[in-house]
Amino acid sequence: MQEPLIPYELNEKQTILVIDDTADNLSLIANLLKPFYHVKVANSGEKGLAYIGNNVQQPHLILLDILMPGLSGYDVLTQLKANESTQFIPVIFLTAMSNPDDETKGLELGAVDYITKPISPPILFARIKTQLQNRKMSEFLRDRNLFLEHEIQKRTQEISAIKMVTILTMTSLAETRDTDTGAHISRTQHYVRLLAQHLQHHPRFASLLTDSMIQTLFLSAPLHDLGKIGIPDAILLKKGKLAPEEFEIMKTHSFLGYKAISKAEEQLQFQVDFLKIAKEIAYTHHEKWDGTGYPQGLKEDTIPLSGRLMAVADVYDALISRRIYKNKMPHTEAFNIMIQGRGSHFDPDILDAFVELEADFKMISMQFTD
Instruction: Report the CATH number of the 178-367 domain.
Output: 1.10.3210.10
CATH number of 8-147: 3.40.50.2300
Peptide bond into 121 cis (omega under 30): no
6: left (phi over 0), alpha (psi -120 to 50) or beta: beta
Pairing of strands 91-95, 113-116: parallel
Q: What is the pTM of this model?
A: 0.57
Among residues 94, 59, 347, the alpha carbon closest in space to that of 205 is found at: 347
- For residue 252, give the nearest of 226, 221, 217, 280 by alpha carbon: 226
Identify the burial level of 273 via C-beta atoms within 10 angstroms of its C-beta, where 0-12 means exposed, 13-18 middle and 19 or more buried: middle
pLDDT of residue 176: 56
- Answer left, alpha or beta for residue 24, where phi above 0 means left and psi between -120 and 50 means alpha: alpha
**49, 127, 288, 290 from 90: Cα distances, Å:** 14, 11, 66, 69
Give the model's pLDDT for residue 10. 43
| Per-residue model confidence as pLDDT tens for the chain (370 residues) | 444 444 434 446 899 999 999 999 999 999 999 999 999 999 999 999 999 988 878 899 999 999 999 999 999 999 999 998 899 999 999 999 989 999 999 999 999 999 999 989 999 999 999 999 988 888 888 778 788 888 777 777 666 666 665 666 666 666 555 555 557 888 999 999 999 999 999 999 999 999 999 999 998 888 888 888 888 888 887 888 889 999 899 999 999 989 988 887 787 776 777 788 989 999 999 999 999 999 999 999 999 999 999 999 999 999 998 876 678 899 999 999 999 999 999 999 999 999 999 999 999 998 887 6
pLDDT of residue 170: 63
Strand order in the sheet with 61-64: 38-42, 15-19, 61-64, 91-95, 113-116
* Nearest to 173, CA basis, from 102, 241, 106, 264: 264
Q: What is the pLDDT of residue 295?
A: 95
Domain coordinates in residue numbering, the chain: 8-147, 178-367
Fold matches, 8-147 and 178-367? no
- Hey, CA dihedral for 167, 172, 175, 177, is it positive or negative? negative
User: What is the predicted pLDDT for the residue at 321?
Assistant: 87
Q: What's the half-sphere exposure (Cβ side, CA atoms, 13 Å) at 158? A: 6
3-state secondary structure the chain: CCCCCCCHHHHCCCEEEEECCCHHHHHHHHHHHCCCCEEEEECCHHHHHHHHHHCCCCCCEEEECCCCCCCCHHHHHHHHHHCCCCCCCCEEEEECCCCHHHHHHHHHHCCCEEEECCCCHHHHHHHHHHHHHHHHHHHHHHHHHHHHHHHHHHHHHHHHHHHHHHHHHHHHHHHHHCHHHHHHHHHHHHHHHHHHHHCCCCCCCCCCCCHHHHHHHHHHHHHCCHHHHHCCHHHHCCCCCCCHHHHHHHHCHHHHHHHHHHHHHHHHCCCCHHHHHHHHHHHHCCCCCCCCCCCCCCCHHHCCHHHHHHHHHHHHHHHHCCECCECCCCHHHHHHHHHHCECCCECHHHHHHHHHCHHHHHHHHHHCCC
- The confidence score (pLDDT) of residue 159 equals 67
pLDDT for the residue numbered 180: 57
Angle between helices 211-220 and 273-284 (to 10 degrees): 60
Q: Residue 266: what pLDDT?
A: 80
